[in-house]
């Protein structure tokens, strides 16, 4: 069995980060160890007065203990990280736990729709860029890509613009880029654009755009993509399952008119996820 360690916050309510990664990675038949980097009562997207407890100093302690047991991971998957210090500890963790075949997957979860998430200052993207520089694959949305590159955010683009963004992101250090939420035909479809700077290969997979958005779908996509690639799926298969599953979760959630911030009903879609893997 393959083993991932995911390093991100615990948002106790609101279905994102670890509360999404753990069930989905497990459902895909991959062991999921966790390093919770902070504990929040809810995520920061749409709730007021959420609590935030830093677990910064636990990161090196957990790492040290695991080193005593020589615990190894097939993949290291990072998501939302609360501050510069956590990023530094995570970079240190990667340097200690990266073996010859370890896949380092970084979701630079920090922004959407042109804006940084609540609580991040304008310096934060430069720290996230340092983490991206040590990854094998990064999976930003177009807002995060713009912050990482310090270029203006736009939704008005064509494929040559997206390819150029991917090339510049690869210059940061990660050889493989998956840009999420990308559309090329007047917003009718949305999907993921892949670029491999070593081979020059590109791949785009999209589905019809749904008339709804829910918090946590980026984490749904990343968890399924990372688990699929860790299982050894081709990039085409892993991206297809990740996009199709995320779309299915949104479709299942729409009729219930659930608050955007409460996340998607991924639990009811797990049987289909297992079908998609066949």
Binding site residues, ligand PXL, CB under 6 A: 9, 11, 16-17, 40, 43-45, 80, 109, 117, 216, 218-219
Which two tokens mark 97? 């736990």
CA distance 112 to 80: 13
Give strand pairing partners of 115: 112
Q: How near is the Cβ of 82 to ligand PXL at its closest, in Å?
A: 7
Q: Which is nearer to ligand PXL, 190 or 222 (CB)?
A: 222
By beta-carbon proximity to ligand PXL, the closer residue of 9 and 74 is 9
Nearer to ligand PXL, 50 or 195 (CB): 50
Q: How far is the CB of 88 from ligand PXL (least distance, A)?
A: 19
Please give the structure tokens belonging to residue 211. 């008339």
Residue 170 or 261 with smaller CB distance to ligand PXL: 261
Mutual orientation of helices 124-133 and 159-172 as an angle, nearest 10°? 80
What's phi and psi for 140, nearest 5 deg?
-75, 155
Distance CA 259, CA 243 (A): 22
Shortest Å distance, C-beta 183 to ligand PXL: 21
- Nearest distance from residue 46's CB to ligand PXL, in Å? 8
Phi, psi of 231 (to 5 degrees): -70, -15
- Could you tell me the smallest distance in angstroms from the CB atom of residue 240 to ligand PXL? 22
Half-sphere exposure of 240 (CA within 13 A, CB side): 10
Instruction: Pick the closer one to ligand PXL by CB: 29 or 119.
Output: 119
């Amino acid at each position: 069995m393959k083993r991932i360690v995911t390093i991100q916050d615990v948002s106790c309510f609101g279905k994102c980060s670890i509360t999404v990664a753990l069930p989905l990675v497990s459902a895909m038949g991959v062991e999921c160890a966790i390093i919770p980097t902070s504990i929040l009562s809810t995520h920061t997207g749409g709730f007021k007065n959420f609590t935030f407890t830093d677990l910064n100093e636990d990161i090196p302690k957990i790492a040290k203990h695991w080193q005593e047991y020589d615990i190894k991971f097939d993949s290291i998957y990072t998501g939302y990280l609360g501050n510069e210090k956590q990023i530094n500890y995570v970079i240190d963790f990667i340097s200690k736990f990266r073996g010859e075949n370890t896949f380092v997957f970084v979701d630079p979860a920090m922004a959407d729709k042109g804006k940084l998430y609540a609580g991040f200052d304008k310096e934060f993207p430069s720290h996230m860029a340092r983490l991206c520089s040590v990854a094998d694959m990064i999976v930003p949305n177009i807002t995060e890509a713009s912050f990482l590159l310090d270029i203006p955010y736009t939704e008005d683009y064509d494929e040559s613009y997206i390819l150029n963004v991917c090339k510049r992101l690869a210059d940061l250090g990660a050889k493989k880029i998956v840009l999420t939420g990308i559309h090329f035909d007047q917003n009718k479809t949305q999907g993921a654009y892949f670029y491999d700077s070593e081979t020059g290969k590109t791949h785009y997979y999209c589905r019809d755009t749904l008339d709804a958005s829910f918090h946590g779908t980026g984490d749904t996509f990343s968890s399924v993509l990372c688990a699929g690639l860790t299982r050894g799926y081709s990039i085409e298969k892993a991206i297809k399952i990740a996009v199709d599953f995320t779309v299915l979760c949104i479709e299942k959630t729409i009729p219930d008119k659930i608050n955007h911030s409460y996340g998607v009903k991924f639990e009811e879609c797990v049987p289909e996820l297992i079908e998609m893997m066949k």
